[in-house]
Structure 1
């Protein structure tokens, strides 16, 4: 009978030690998690949930092998079909060396009125029957501006080679193209040359490091990523690609009238006055007819990609049909974390002291069906343990929870929030 109190004290001592041990680990976690103050060291960031807004497929027939529509700024994929299969892209390839040209222009390394001497082999290519070309002469020179217009409007194979050689030797440009794509996270490409012709059609200009019949390839998603990079970094390229015609070597004996191969720009045979198509590039080969387009929609740019359609007209008609449906059924929702009531509700649930006025961020921009509004987007807040582990500073994760299906992105929007 006298041993019972001793056993009770032993049990008490055991639980006391257990609570002390647990407290060593649990209390700091609780303090970290719940005692977060809105200071300049607090990081609050958005993360996308793995959900998707329903794609727009209403009344759309797409016979092209691959098709994709995305927001050029955010990378949000609005619609896709077979968009990750690497396919021949032909002259769409020219948007990569075009990027290098506009980059060199911005850096002052070249100028629009610079005169470019043409290699005799390149000049010979410009007269080859059956190829997209603007005739060039080795005994003449051509302005950078003329060569850019020839590339984007007439898809001049020799023109982009002459322009690229003005920047660096072609083997160096080819290597630079591959590095450029890898830096964008693109790995599904084959790059043979700057113009997109099959290697065996280039004669003495063939790339000796690849198969004789090799040609440039990329997926629709990758094409959209490159196109978005071009128009975002150098929007002035659209001042060229939106033109229906251009006078090449104006006022000289070599003057030529160029017409845009993009039939959707203003003045084109398939243009729609309700669709402001301002770019970007066509591509044609034995595999089919391809097109990467750029449409202005308010302050946003929409990228469309058609790969390997059945005819010249069908690539444009499919693009037009889809974009018409897109304008009729979708709208842009801008979610401002500083004013959105659902953001406030989520943050207050986590911590009453959260001050929404301290948030510094960009709005979240999403294309959604017109029956969805900003109030249909809900959020939750969690402690960001990864951020704390890296910085030893408290941080929060504000997660977007959509009342719809999943949003997919070519690249992630900048959804980080910082408190002052």
Structure 2
């Protein structure tokens, strides 16, 4: 397949180059000499002076004609450049796909997407639990242990909020906070200084990686101590399938199961700070003379159809698209976990499918177990 894509990309590039030659054949020709330099002596029989000196009106006409020609060449050259840019935009994804194949998620490699479910969810792992009764309403591969990406930051928030550290303490982003594993982007440049509270807000709401890493790095005892606390908290909550390697989720070594994540959501929902920050629609921070606007990575928090008490999104190639939420639907408080969803918006689509299912089915029918290992929620 990759050879076919590459040959197709090269073929497209060739066609674009050919069409470019047809559209602007004169765009790359040598520029004509200007009228002001055409004052050399004419090779006429009489040895007369140049036409510019002897016949000004003719020279003016020639100059005007050349000016029109030059403007036409400029337009053709501009159009040619636009064609080149368009060709590059069209060919680049094909070449990239041919040369750099997509990295399959752990769930895809394990064949989890082949599991059927009556709701036709795009996530290979899903779990829906009644928060009050602990009843499992829907489960799909809920004990599979997979990378969890930025869902990690929910535990980062639990540790920071629970430590009762001063939220107004200033923290400066350092080179150590720059992602050297996935090379992800960040709007927080090295040297930017924010309060601990601002960093926590950005980490939980907009999944800011440098903010999360800075929170762990500056924790009393440093990053190793912070990661140990994350794992100790997981064990204390009974999250026996969970392992943390760092506080951002960029590492695929941060792994958990849907059952464990439901337990974490239930615990985090008890913290009003985490409820507020994870569901904040947007937030502004001032860095020097700039004011940066950040938005929530989960657009459902702005939807009038949803009543969300806590949420967190996540994504890396190894984990796929992930989402956890605490929400109220049809009068019931539910915890939802979706892992390893294949498309960018499919995790939100899965949440919508579950919401419609809960709203349109009687309470007695809202129990679907698709995983043989499913067990009652004990978080």
1:89 corresponds, among 123, 129, 148, to 148
2:83 aligns with none
* Equivalence for 2:342: 310
- Aligned match of 2:307: 276
Alpha-carbon contact 1:74-1:409 (below 8 Å) kept: no
Is the aligned partner of 1:289 residue 2:321?
yes
For residue 174 of structure 1, the aligned residue among 221, 227, 235 is: 227
1:326–1:96 Cα change, 3 Å: same
Shift of 1:239: 1.5
Higher radius of gyration, 1 or 2: 2
Change in 2 beyond 3 A, CA 1:329/1:192: same
Q: Pick closer, same or farther for the CA change 1:300–1:148 going to 2, 3 Å.
A: farther
CA gap 1:324/1:298 in 2 versus in 1, 3 angstroms: closer
Is 1:186 equivalent to 2:234 in the alignment?
A: no
Match of 1:206 in 2: none
Superposed displacement of residue 299, structure 1: 7.4
Question: Where does 1:146-157 land on structure 2 (aligned, <5 Å)?
Answer: 146-157=198-209
Aligned-pair distance for 1:298? 7.5
Quick one: distance in 1 between partners of 2:202 and 2:185? 10
1:317 Cα deviation (Å)? 0.5
Is the 8 Å Cα contact of residues 134 and 159 (structure 1) preserved in structure 2?
no
TM superposition shift of 1:277: 2.6
Offset of 1:297 from its aligned partner? Answer: 4.3
Cross-structure match for 2:174: 119
- Report what 2:284 is aligned to: 247
2:272 pairs with 1:235: yes
Aligned length: 257
TM superposition score normalised by structure 2: 0.61
Deviation at 1:183, TM superposition (A): 1.3
Higher relative contact order (CA 8 A, sep 6+): 1
How far the C-alpha of 1:129 sits from its partner, in A, is 8.2
- Compared with structure 1, are the counterparts of its residues 230 and 299 closer, same or farther at alpha carbon in structure 2 (3 Å cutoff)? farther
User: Structure 2: which 5+ runs fail to align?
Assistant: 1-115, 367-373
- Higher fraction of helix: 2
* Greater strand share, structure number: 1
Alignment TM-score, normalising by the size of structure 1: 0.56
> Are the counterparts in 2 of residues 278 and 294 from structure 1 also a CA contact under 8 Å?
yes
In structure 1, stretches of 5+ residues that fail to align are: 1-56, 199-213, 332-367, 371-406, 413-420
SS in 1 for 2:123: coil
Deviation of 1:158 (Å): 1.1
Distance in structure 2 (CA, Å) of the matches to 1:322 and 1:298: 12
Q: CA deviation at 1:192?
A: 1.4
Deviations 1:222-251 (A, max 9, x none): 11111111112x03322222222111227x
Corresponding position of 1:410: 377
Range that drifts further, 280-289 or 299-308:
299-308
RMSD value, Cα: 2.8
Following TM superposition, by how much is the alpha carbon of 1:163 offset from its aligned partner in structure 2, in angstroms?
A: 1.4
Q: What is the CA–CA distance in structure 2 between the aligned matches of 1:283 and 1:328, rounded to whole Å?
A: 29
Counterparts of 1:318 and 1:306 in 2: how far apart (Å)?
A: 8
Aligned-partner Cα distance in 2 for 1:75–1:167: 34
Partners of 1:63 and 1:299 in 2: CA distance: 26
Extract structure 1 runs of 4+ deviating beyond 4 A: 297-300
Q: Tell me the residue number matched to 1:99.
A: 158
Kindly indicate whether residue 190 of structure 2 is the aligned counterpart of residue 163 of structure 1.
Answer: no
Summarize deviations over 1:344-377 as a string: whole Å, max 9, x none: xxxxxxxxxxxxxxxxxxxxxxxx448xxxxxxx
